[in-house]
Structure 1
Amino acid sequence: MQRLTVLGTGVLGSQIIFQAAYFGKEVVAYDINDEALEKLPARWEYLKPLYIRDLPDATPEKLDAAVARIRATTDLGEALAQAELVIEAVPENLEIKRDTWRRVGELAPETAIFATNSSTLLPSDIAPASGHPERFLALHFANEVWKNNTGEVMGHAGTDPAAFEAVAQFADEIGMVPIRVLKEQPGYVLNSLLVPLLDAASGLLMGGVATPEDIDRTWRIGTGAPLGPFQIFDVIGMMTPYMLNKDSDKPGAREFAEYLKREYIDKGYLGKGSGRGFYTYE
């Protein structure tokens, strides 16, 4: 599959777009308004030095060629016209995703394969909205996709095995390590391991047990991990944990979401990509 359309140009969406283009795919970036698309050139300039830092084969010429393979539009029909694969990276809200896929199902080519990048929702909860559940599955990327390069491929009971393998092959072609998730699992493999850590960290913070810095320091020293949980929050960005927690029934989750909004999101501190989250970045 050579022609990719990515729906949503936020932190993960923009990374997926750039990663696919870097590995030679023709990519259409879709978002709902021009304001979102106008931020993309600055995003590419932000990503370029990170690729040079982390990937031995990255050169300015290769990175410029990647940007040249990206086209942006707010016209959904135009975005989907030639798509062989559609990857959705819109906010982590079931109704938003279902509504997006209803429109995609009406406009996309009959042969296009559909993949959600949802971190927590199951493909079977979203697939019927697309009108083509047999061509629907999940392809989940970790943040900083060029470096943390797992591509978790997860279908549902009605996913065509050929579509599953086509997406696994696509993941391999864009520099991912395909992780074949053999049955539906909320959170896939990665987030099934990661979310309990982040929940525990937010509980310690909201309970006044320790500061983010000391919680992170404890985790790094005690386990040898390169990042603590609040450093991970900064990499993920504040909007994802906010969306996941604001309507949650888990004890303390809504309080943590309100804290993130009040102390960080409302002040423009959206995480590492914005230059500030729990920590400050150059």
Structure 2
Amino acid sequence: MQQVTVLGTGVLGSQIIFQSAYSGKDVVAYDISDEIIAKLPERWEQLKPLYLRDLPDATPDKLDAAVSRIRATSDLADAVADADIVIEAVPERLDIKRDTWQKVSAAAPEKTIFATNSSTLLPSDIVSAVDRPSKFLALHFANEIWRNNTGEVMAQDQTDPEIFEQVAVFAEEIGMIAIRVKKEQPGYVVNSLLVPLLDAAADLWVRGVADIETIDLTWRTATGAPVGPFQMLDVIGMMTPYNLGKDSENPVKREFAERLKTEYIDKGYLGVATGRGFYEYGA
């Protein structure tokens, strides 16, 4: 799978694009508008120093070569025309994902394998929107994928086992440790462990039990973890927890989403990627 198309250029989508190109793949980056596409070169410049910081084999020449293997477009048919694999990283809403996959199904060649990077939705929730269920599954990445390099591969009932294994091998080719998830699980392995922590942190803050800094300090000090839950949320970005919580049946999750919107999102504080979230970050 040499020809890779990534749908969505947000925090995680842009990382998947860059990591795939860094690993030698030819990558098409798709998003819905030329205005979004025009901002991608700035994103690559933000990622380069992180690779230099964290990866011993990273060099300026290698990073420039990665950028040269990325082509961006807002034309969906053009984006998927020669794709060996399409990885979808659009907002975490079932209606958006289903609509996206219906359009991709109509445009992609028969050879193309479809993978969703959905964090909480199951591939079986989405599969009826695709025209090739045997070639549809989930491939989920953790944030900062160049160093938190897990690629969780999860099938649905109709996925061809051979396709499952091909995607696991692809994950390894782009520098991931392939995590073969044996059955469908909301949140895969990593988020099944992580989300309860983040939910507990949000609950403590919303109910006024402790402030953000104290919650993070407590977690770091008591467990030896390098970052606390709100620092993790800054890496994830505000939009994912907002989209997950705004229509929740849980009133605390809804209030958390509303506070994210009014206190952070509406002010442009979206997390590390924008230089400010719960905390401020330098360039």
TM-score normalised by L of structure 1: 0.99
1:8 to partner: Cα distance: 0.4
| 1:126-275 pair list within 5 angstroms | 126-275=126-275
Report the secondary structure of 1:167's partner residue. Answer: helix
Q: Say whether residues 1:6 and 2:35 are aligned partners.
A: no
Q: Say whether residues 1:110 and 2:110 are aligned partners.
A: yes
Distance in 2, Cα, partners of 1:114 & 1:206: 38
Report the secondary structure of 1:247's partner residue. Answer: coil
Q: Which runs of 5 or more residues in structure 2 are unaligned? A: none
Distance in 1, Cα, partners of 2:33 & 2:46: 21
1:131 to partner: Cα distance: 1.4
1:189 to partner: Cα distance: 0.3
Distance in 2, Cα, partners of 1:62 & 1:184: 37
Report the secondary structure of 1:78's partner residue. Answer: helix
| 1:66-77 pair list within 5 angstroms | 66-77=66-77
Report the secondary structure of 2:251's partner residue. Answer: coil
Report the secondary structure of 1:252's partner residue. Answer: helix
| 1:17-96 pair list within 5 angstroms | 17-96=17-96
Distance in 2, Cα, partners of 1:278 & 1:206: 14
Distance in 2, Cα, partners of 1:99 & 1:11: 21
Distance in 2, Cα, partners of 1:185 & 1:76: 30
1:251 to partner: Cα distance: 3.4
1:111 to partner: Cα distance: 1.1
Identity value in percent: 72
What's the CA shift string for 1:232-261, capped at 9, x where partnerless?
000000000000000111231111000000
1:85 to partner: Cα distance: 0.2
Equivalent residues, number: 282
Q: Which residue of 2 aligns with 1:123?
A: 123
Distance in 2, Cα, partners of 1:117 & 1:240: 13
Distance in 2, Cα, partners of 1:119 & 1:39: 25
Distance in 2, Cα, partners of 1:140 & 1:95: 19
1:42 to partner: Cα distance: 0.2
1:132 to partner: Cα distance: 1.0
Distance in 2, Cα, partners of 1:251 & 1:273: 28
Distance in 1, Cα, partners of 2:187 & 2:174: 22
Question: Which contiguous aligned blocks of 4+ residues in structure 1 show a shift greater than 4 angstroms?
Answer: none
Distance in 2, Cα, partners of 1:243 & 1:148: 23
Distance in 2, Cα, partners of 1:254 & 1:169: 39
TM-score normalised by L of structure 2: 0.99
2:166 partner letter = A
1:191 partner letter = N
1:30 partner letter = Y
What's the CA shift string for 1:119-158, capped at 9, x where partnerless?
0000011011011111000000000010110000000111
Distance in 2, Cα, partners of 1:233 & 1:75: 31
What's the CA shift string for 1:178-202, capped at 9, x where partnerless?
0000000000000001000000000
